[in-house]
Amino acid sequence: MIKLQEHIDKKKFDGAGLYYNEPMSRHTSFKIGGPADLLFVPKTIKHIEDMIKRCIEVGIPYYIMGNGSNLLVSDLGYRGVIIQICKTMSGYKIEGNRVYAQGGILLSSLSKHIYRAGLRGFEFASGIPGTLGGAVYMNAGAYGGEIKDVIVEAETLTRKGAYKTLTKEALDLGYRHSSLQIHEDIVLSATLVLEEGDKKVIKALMQDFGQRRKDKQPIELPSAGSTFKRPEGYYAGKLIMDAGLSGYHVGDARVSLKHCGFVVNEGQATCKEVLELIDHIQLEVKSKFDVDLEPEVRIIGEF
């Protein structure tokens, strides 16, 4: 384990949370993951900048996470610093039809604020269990809507600690893709433009999406959402079901009986079990349908 206490000046991060040897199973929706050498919860953007600069100076690996809803962490944990921005970086401001929000705000919270302001176009995100920063990073979407439909620009911090403003065009948003994934920039905030709407209609649509998610997805069990990206011309869940893998499991990691596109944790699943299950699914689907399934879940840590 890296002796981070020797390199991190606690006084420089007054008000921030520094949690050494922190089990990541406490911070991911999968409820899986060994200890991070340091889980850092910044209070300000300056904290993020200073921690990144310090990590670069000392040669310490670091990873930026939001709500941990699309993350699978190794059973051995993460050697370095995990910077979690969803706890405090969650401010927002609405002016007319423009919404300014920090990257750590939960999509569920932001959608409620937008609804109360009588703005439509963000209903699709109301049930996505993640942060705005994560949603921009992967161009999150649901029920026919995507972040690319509403975003104007994003304020980012590069891995070298420089601030940048990226336009919608520069973000290069596609299916579960953005230029941020190439450069690994961090979303500090984003500007959205929406349209005025009828609050009753907006609320009804959000409730409809919420009920559909409840009916069709295994939200009652820990998971990281959709395990695989949608292959062109197919649906991952149907391919997995047609391959006869509904309910297939490795230990407590199981293909959901409710929706085959989800791998769920039925109790004490480990990262090793999830990865073995993912490998088996990929091999079976490739063998039966000659389709390559690409994981949507992000996998980090020591292996």
Instruction: Among 84, 103, 135, identify where a domain stops.
Output: 84
Question: What separation in angstroms does the CA of 210 have from each of 126, 143, 217, 229?
Answer: 8, 11, 10, 21
Tokens of residue 123, six digits: 């209903």
Tokens of residue 227, six digits: 């395990």
pLDDT at 61: 93
Domain identity same for 188 and 98? yes
Domain identity same for 245 and 159? no
Domain identity same for 26 and 57? yes
Instruction: Among 165, 188, 214, identify where a domain stops.
Output: 214
Question: What separation in angstroms does the CA of 195 have from each of 28, 120, 127, 151, 298?
Answer: 33, 5, 20, 12, 33
Domain identity same for 57 and 105? no
Domain identity same for 97 and 78? no
pLDDT at 280: 98
Task: Find the catalytic residue in 123, 146, 176, 256.
Answer: 176
Domain identity same for 287 and 194? no
Domain identity same for 200 and 112? yes
Calpha distance 85→82 (Å, rounded): 10
Task: Report residue 2's pLDDT band, with 50, 70 and 90 as the boundaries.
Answer: low
Nearest CA to 22 among 87, 86, 90, 80? Answer: 80
Instruction: Among 161, 194, 214, identify where a domain stops.
Output: 214
Given a cut of 60, is residue 54 above it in pLDDT? yes
Query: Where are the strands (E) in 116-185, listed by range?
Result: 119-120, 141-142, 145-146, 151-157, 163-167
pLDDT over 90 percentage in the chain: 88
Given a cut of 70, is residue 1 above it in pLDDT? no
Domain identity same for 224 and 209? no
Which of 3-17, 30-44, 172-186 has the highest average model confidence (pLDDT)?
Answer: 30-44
Q: Is 226 a catalytic residue?
A: yes
Domain identity same for 36 and 23? yes
Domain identity same for 250 and 289? yes
pLDDT at 158: 87
Q: Which residue has the tokens 């300056």?
A: 46
Q: Which domain holds residue 171?
A: 92-214
Q: What CATH number should be reported for the domain holding residue 279?
A: 3.90.78.10
pLDDT tens figures, 213-257: 999 999 999 999 999 999 999 999 999 999 999 999 999 999 999
Total domains, the chain: 3
Task: Report residue 200's pLDDT band, with 50, 70 and 90 as the boundaries.
Answer: very high
Domain identity same for 77 and 41? yes
Q: What CATH number should be reported for the domain holding residue 201?
A: 3.30.465.10
One-letter amino acid at 134 equals G
Q: Is 296 a catalytic residue?
A: yes
Task: Find the catalytic residue in 226, 254, 256, 273.
Answer: 226
Given a cut of 80, is residue 9 above it in pLDDT? yes
Task: Find the catalytic residue in 49, 296, 298, 302.
Answer: 296
What sign does the CA torsion over 155, 160, 162, 168 have? negative
Q: What CATH number should be reported for the domain holding residue 66?
A: 3.30.43.10
Domain identity same for 139 and 168? yes
In whole numbers, what is the pLDDT of the chain averaged over residues? 94
pLDDT tens figures, 105-147: 999 999 999 999 999 999 999 999 999 999 999 999 999 999 9
